[in-house]
């Protein structure tokens, strides 16, 4: 194996493992590593749990495990980021999940949750020791939790001597099945009623491609995303949010209530409308139907539903533009999407708005918007490559003036999905 080709977190975890877990006599297995990427979402925010469309891509930032199989059912982990151990047992899962979850640090609960869901699916697992590393910004809207969950599934597969496999053909779990399993693991680990966007994006990543995912049917197809003169710039506000304690679950509940009210309003006017009887999510309500009935909704529900219905249309617009190679036009839709997140869905914050405003004034920035659940995290920016330095300078100058904070700027590339390697 050529270690120079491994991403930095994978190399870091492999290098640290012998120092952290130095009892070589405890293992009869080779050292191996498993990883999965974070993601950016070009367009389609908060549409996934409304049965809508999303357009993400995996990026070259990963969560990684490096370790060895144990001879028992114990899982021992060391976090290179948090500098702390976590330990749990696969025995008794998933029934004793809540009992084992309580003493664990937050990051380890995701690993436990994935193990519980794999066992619930009837898959046989083995214990392992591993160092956990990563360079997906935590709480930054690039889905560090989903990267950790999908990397956990890859690690369980690797360290359980390939008792199950993940892949497109003749595998125990398809990528979408793996995403769904890890989505359920997030629900039980964090209490966050997340959609499937993040896990699917991590599982489905391909270099130089975005993926259009229908979050209801789970059908997907790839779109080219390779523009030599355009950079995908992620700018981190430095503001961290805890989605489970934020308004995320509240937004989901509001969308469900808006759907029910709109369905009832349509059926009152058109009792024989079979299409209306089948309305289950905002995805099912056309822009024309929304325009007709929106003024009969309470203001907050009108704003939430209006954003989601329009955002689904924006995703489909961007797909057509990417197919036509019109990347500058894609940028214009990002500005509009941010305004909707700020004013209608109300999940932005002063720091995110500041970064988008600063980017708007830099020539060569095609578009920018907040990304992820909201209330902090990152913005995604489509930037002409020769304008990246100007954007960086503008952010370094004006962002601290406006917020009293420092922002970090990174260029990301559409990258491959999860993987693993045995090193010795």
Distance CA 182, CA 10 (A): 21
CA 170 to chain centre: 26
Domain extent, residue 42, equals: 3-224
Taking residues 188-195, what's their average pLDDT? 86
Taking residues 65-89, what's their average pLDDT? 96
pLDDT-derived band at 372 (thresholds 50, 70, 90) equals: confident
**Residue 110 falls within a domain, yes or no?**
yes
**Residue 306 falls within a domain, yes or no?**
no
**Residue 298 falls within a domain, yes or no?**
no
What residues act catalytically?
A: 198
Count of domains forming the chain:
1
Note the pTM of the prediction, 2 decimals. 0.92
**Residue 242 falls within a domain, yes or no?**
no
Query: Which residues fall within 8 angstroms of residue 42, CB to CB, at 6 or more apart?
Result: 55, 56, 57, 210, 225, 318, 330, 334, 380
Taking residues 333-343, what's their average pLDDT? 98
**Residue 243 falls within a domain, yes or no?**
no
- CA-based nearest residue to 88, from 69, 59, 109, 119: 109
**Residue 40 falls within a domain, yes or no?**
yes
We report the CATH number of the domain holding residue 200 as 3.30.230.10
**Residue 150 falls within a domain, yes or no?**
yes
Q: Would you say residue 107 has pLDDT above 50?
A: yes
**Residue 90 falls within a domain, yes or no?**
yes
pLDDT-derived band at 247 (thresholds 50, 70, 90) equals: confident
């Amino acid at each position: 194996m050529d270690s120079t080709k491994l991403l930095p977190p994978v190399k870091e975890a492999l290098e640290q493992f012998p120092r952290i877990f130095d009892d070589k006599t405890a293992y009869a297995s080779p050292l191996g590593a498993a990883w999965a990427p974070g993601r950016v979402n070009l367009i389609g925010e908060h549409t996934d749990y409304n049965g809508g469309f999303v357009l993400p891509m995996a990026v070259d930032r990963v969560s990684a495990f490096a370790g060895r199989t144990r001879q028992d059912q114990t899982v021992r982990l060391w976090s290179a980021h948090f500098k702390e151990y976590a330990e749990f047992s696969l025995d008794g899962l998933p029934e004793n999940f809540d009992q084992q979850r309580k003493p664990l640090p937050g990051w380890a609960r995701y690993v436990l949750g994935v193990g519980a869901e794999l066992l619930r699916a009837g898959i046989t697992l083995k214990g392992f020791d591993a160092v956990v590393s990563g360079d997906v910004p935590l709480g930054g809207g690039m889905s560090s939790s989903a990267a950790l969950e999908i990397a956990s599934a890859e690690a369980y597969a690797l360290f359980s001597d390939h008792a199950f496999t993940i892949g497109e053909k003749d595998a125990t779990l398809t990528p979408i099945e793996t995403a769904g399993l890890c989505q359920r693991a997030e629900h039980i680990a964090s209490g966050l009623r997340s959609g499937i966007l993040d896990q699917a994006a991590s599982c489905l990543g391909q270099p130089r491609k975005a993926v259009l995912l229908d979050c209801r049917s789970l059908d997907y197809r790839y779109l080219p995303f390779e523009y030599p003169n355009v950079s995908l710039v992620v700018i981190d506000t430095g503001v961290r949010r805890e989605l489970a304690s934020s308004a995320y679950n509240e937004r989901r509940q509001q969308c469900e209530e808006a759907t029910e009210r709109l369905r009832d309003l349509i059926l009152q006017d058109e009792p024989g409308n079979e299409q209306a009887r089948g309305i289950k999510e905002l995805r099912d309500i056309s822009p024309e139907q929304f325009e007709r009935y929106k003024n009969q909704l309470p203001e907050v529900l009108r704003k939430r539903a209006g954003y989601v219905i329009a955002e689904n249309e924006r995703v489909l617009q961007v797909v057509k533009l990417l197919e036509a190679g019109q990347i500058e036009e894609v940028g214009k839709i990002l500005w509009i999407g941010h305004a909707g997140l700020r004013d209608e869905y109300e999940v932005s914050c002063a720091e995110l708005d500041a970064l988008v405003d600063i980017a708007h004034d830099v020539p060569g920035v095609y578009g920018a918007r907040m990304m992820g659940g909201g209330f902090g995290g990152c913005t995604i920016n489509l930037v002409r490559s020769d304008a990246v330095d100007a954007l960086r300078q503008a952010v370094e100058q004006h962002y601290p003036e406006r917020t009293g904070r420092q922002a970090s700027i990174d260029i990301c590339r559409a990258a491959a999905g999860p993987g693993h390697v045995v090193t010795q």
